[in-house]
């Protein structure tokens, strides 16, 4: 593992926990979710049984699946993948949209939306919600547009812009900020390209995004902040900044995500997922603006 990353992990946790994290940065099981805009859990189970592909489901989400005996290439060749009835997505990244708890009258902003896994999941959970998805990179925005259309989420309002530059006239009931991060929970190469310079720059960007999210959120609104990092400076320290701006943590029920491997956190009621063969390292916090 990259020496700088290893040092940060040992400082944040312990050498033993850093060993567990490093061990978990390995090849992952193939996971996906049924796209409820186009299909049902039952239809997907029947189709994949016909293919001879064994599926299992985590306790906390009935439309999430683990392919027990098939590669990602095999899944991509199925009609269900080609027609947008399923979406290849890590189990960990399915958790933030669930924490958002979208309702049909909600105005929702996805601040860093590409490639669209979480955006389309929100649309599938609650088709009646008014969703705005921002992506500043034009190439990534085109990928997002493609996924929105294939997943049947064409009603989502796509804005090719940096969400930090959104006009203050916009106000939202709920905001998902899946922030750019070091990727310390997903670096299967051991973080060979990890650099402290980039890490510090990313933390600065996260802080700017948190500030913007709080300014765009209506009083009483919900902000879900997430990263695919396990480093506290990108996670709990950023949540503290939101708390300093008037947010309060909406505690995550510890029984809600049974079976999900976790790491200790300084702030109660948030979740930091330890990377394993089935889960990516991930962080999520649910916040409410006062």
Catalytic residues: 228
Tell me the backbone φ, ψ of residue 83, rounded to 5 degrees. -100, 5
Tokens for 18? 């850093």
Tokens for 156? 């989502």
Q: Which of 25, 65, 27 shows the shortest CA–CA distance to 45? A: 65
Provide the Cα torsion 188, 191, 194, 199; round to 10°: 70
Alpha-carbon span 144 to 113, nearest angstrom: 7
Cis preceding linkage at 8, omega within 30: no
Contacts (Cβ under 8 Å, ≥6 apart) of 50: none
């Amino acid at each position: 593992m990259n020496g700088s990353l290893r040092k940060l992990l040992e400082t944040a946790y312990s050498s033993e926990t850093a060993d567990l994290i490093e061990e978990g940065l390995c090849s992952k099981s193939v996971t996906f979710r049924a796209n409820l805009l186009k299909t049902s859990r039952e239809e997907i189970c029947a189709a994949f049984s016909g293919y001879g592909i064994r599926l299992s489901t985590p306790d906390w989400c009935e439309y999430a699946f683990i392919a027990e005996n098939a590669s990602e290439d095999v899944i991509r060749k199925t009609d269900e993948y080609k027609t947008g009835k399923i979406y290849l997505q890590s189990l960990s990244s399915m958790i933030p949209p669930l924490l958002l708890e979208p309702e049909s009258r909600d105005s929702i902003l996805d601040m860093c939306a590409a490639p669209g896994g979480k955006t389309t999941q929100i649309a599938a959970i609650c088709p009646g919600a008014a969703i705005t998805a921002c992506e500043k990179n034009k190439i990534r925005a085109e990928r997002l547009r493609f996924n929105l259309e294939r997943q049947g989420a064409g009603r989502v309002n796509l804005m090719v812009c940096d969400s930090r530059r959104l006009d203050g006239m916009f106000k939202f009931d709920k905001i998902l900020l899946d922030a750019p991060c070091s990727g310390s929970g997903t670096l299967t190469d051991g973080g060979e390209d990890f650099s402290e310079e980039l890490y510090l720059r990313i933390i600065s960007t996260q802080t700017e995004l948190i500030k913007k999210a709080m300014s765009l959120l209506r009083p009483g609104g919900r902000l879900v902040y997430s990263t695919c990092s396990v480093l506290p400076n990108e996670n709990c320290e950023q949540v503290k900044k939101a708390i300093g701006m008037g947010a309060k943590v909406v505690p995550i029920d510890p029984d809600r995500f049974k079976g999900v491997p976790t790491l200790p956190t300084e702030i109660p009621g948030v979740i930091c997922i330890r990377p394993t063969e089935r889960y990516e390292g991930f962080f999520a916090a649910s916040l409410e603006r006062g």
